[in-house]
Amino acid sequence: MAQLRQYQIDIRDKAVDLLNQYKIAYLSMEVRTGKTLTALSAADQYGAKNVLCLTKKKAITSIENDHSEGGFDFQLTVTNYEQVGNLLPIYDLVILDEAHSLGQFPIPAKKIKQIKAICKDIPIIYLSGTPTPESYSQLFHQFYVSSFSPFDHASFYKWANDFVTVKKKFFFNRQINDYSFADEQKVKEVASHLFLSYTQKEAGFEMMVEEEVIPVVMKESTYKLAERIRIDRVFSKNGHDIVADTEVKLRSKLHQIFSGSVIDESGRAICFDKSKAEYIKKHFAGRKIAIFYKYKGEQAIIESVFSNLTTSPEEFNASNDLIFYSQVQSGREGVNLSTADCLIMFNIDYSAVSYFQARARLQTKDRTEAAKVYWLFSVGGIEDKIYKAVSNKKDYTLSYFRNDFGKGHTSKNKKAA
């Protein structure tokens, strides 16, 4: 039977009190502090008999193992959020893992109504190390799925009338309302009593994440293609058409090209530069590594260079000679890679959430060596510019992109130091 640390027991007991009083407990515990096991124990102590846990697909097995090893006296169904439409409302408690993923605003994600139906009149345990990664407006739809939400507003727009200073912003040359500026103090006055927070430092983590940016010189042809796309917005060769006729597409095409691949207009991945993968193979030989990539072309490059690959965290942790690889958005949450010597980021996502979640995959309280994260950035590319934004808790938006790659910019192939 899994043993909880004292801080987990304390949080569990407080969570049970919140469930009894408010039917909501939000465990805002930083990654790798054991919030899943704490939540399962809270559900057990609360007296639940039939529990549903909604999570990300790659975290399912880990949660099922936690339940099995915990010896809890309740039935548990674990599935990913995409399957919620196939479920029946038969549960007496729901655990919403990575709950911040429900925080889309002003228009809710399609799954919100389905989750609300499953959660009708039953308690919810929310789990997230980053409940509001970008704005306190992200809390409304998270709580909206509960029949016991601290907010009694029927819609986000009605809630915004009380909690948000609405500003204007331009999107594709069209002025729209920006609902990001929620009043933090007002939101906390209504909802803060539902949160139980805990940090890695409080949990006694001694080996924190250490990051290193590695500049990689790509092929000369890669830089020429990037510059051609930036200026002409179109490139055709050997039956492949690459079109970047909007700013969104231009950002995406450049982001792909600088790491060695690109998706053409037919949806095919063209792989033309293995420089990053070859660097990994040469410089990380003999080390137990995990690799996160962003685009499917990068997946194909990795698969062409390495043979000992796995997409299973459990298989990876049990082996000494496998390389774990995953798309960053699907692997950034709920995946334990604590046996890895280091994590290598083949590319970087635009999202600040991806940055903070992905870099924590190696951490555990008992780790005796620093969790090393290496970022492979093409010299003269886009990755370091994205890094500057997301590491400061800002998504890499089109406004950043315009400043970085607007008129007058020229990609330069400089030798790495």
Q: Residue 276: name the closest of 311, 245, 244, 306 by CA.
A: 306
Q: Rounded to an integer, what distance in angstroms lies between the CA atom of residue 321 and that of residue 286?
A: 9
Structure confidence at residue 280 (pLDDT): 98
Give me the phi and psi of 145, to 5 degrees please. Answer: -70, -15
**Each residue's pLDDT tens digit, 351-406:** 877 777 776 666 554 555 677 899 999 999 999 999 999 988 888 998 899 999 87
Q: What are the structural domains, with CATH classification, of the chain? A: 6-203 (3.40.50.10810), 209-405 (3.40.50.300)
Contacts of 188 (CB under 8 A, 6+ apart): none
Q: Angle 373-379-383 (CA atoms, 0-180°, nearest 5)? A: 55
CA atoms within 13 A on the CB side of 360: 21
Q: Residue 258: name the closest of 232, 233, 295 by CA.
A: 295
Q: Mean pLDDT, to the nearest integer, of 164-181?
A: 87
Average pLDDT, the chain: 90
Q: Rounded to an integer, what distance in angstroms lies between the CA atom of residue 132 and that of residue 99?
A: 10
Res 218 pLDDT > 50: yes
Q: Mean pLDDT, to the nearest integer, of 308-318?
A: 93
Count of beta carbons in the 10 Å neighbourhood of residue 80? 16
**Cis peptide preceding 106, ω within 30 of 0:** yes
Contact (CB, 8 A) for 14 and 182: no
Q: Residue 292: name the closest of 315, 271, 313, 314 by CA.
A: 313
List Cα–Cα distances, 61 to 138, 155, 314, 315, 328, in angstroms. Answer: 28, 35, 8, 11, 18
- Torsion, CA 200, CA 201, CA 206, CA 209, rounded to 10: 60
Q: Which long-range contacts (CB under 8 A, 24 or more apart) does 317-321 make?
A: 320/288
Q: Mean pLDDT, to the nearest integer, of 315-332?
A: 90
Q: Rounded to an integer, what distance in angstroms lies between the CA atom of residue 44 and that of residue 35?
A: 14
Give me the phi and psi of 332, to 5 degrees please. Answer: -75, -15
Q: Residue 292: name the closest of 329, 267, 322 by CA.
A: 329
Contacts of 392 (CB under 8 A, 6+ apart): 352
Contacts of 160 (CB under 8 A, 6+ apart): 106, 137, 166, 179, 182
- How many percent of the chain have pLDDT more than 70? 92
Q: Residue 123: name the closest of 30, 37, 50 by CA.
A: 50
Count of beta carbons in the 10 Å neighbourhood of residue 66? 21
pLDDT bracket for residue 416 (50, 70, 90): very low
**Each residue's pLDDT tens digit, 116-152:** 999 999 999 999 988 998 899 999 999 999 999 999 9
Q: Rounded to an integer, what distance in angstroms lies between the CA atom of residue 285 and that of residue 389?
A: 31
Residue written as token pair 């399609």: 110
Q: Angle 321-323-325 (CA atoms, 0-180°, nearest 5)? A: 165
Contact (CB, 8 A) for 383 and 233: no
Q: Is 57 helix (H, G, I), strand (E, B) or coil?
A: helix
Residue written as token pair 């912003």: 169
Res 301 pLDDT > 50: yes
Res 61 pLDDT > 70: yes
Structure confidence at residue 415 (pLDDT): 44
Give me the phi and psi of 357, to 5 degrees please. Answer: -75, -45
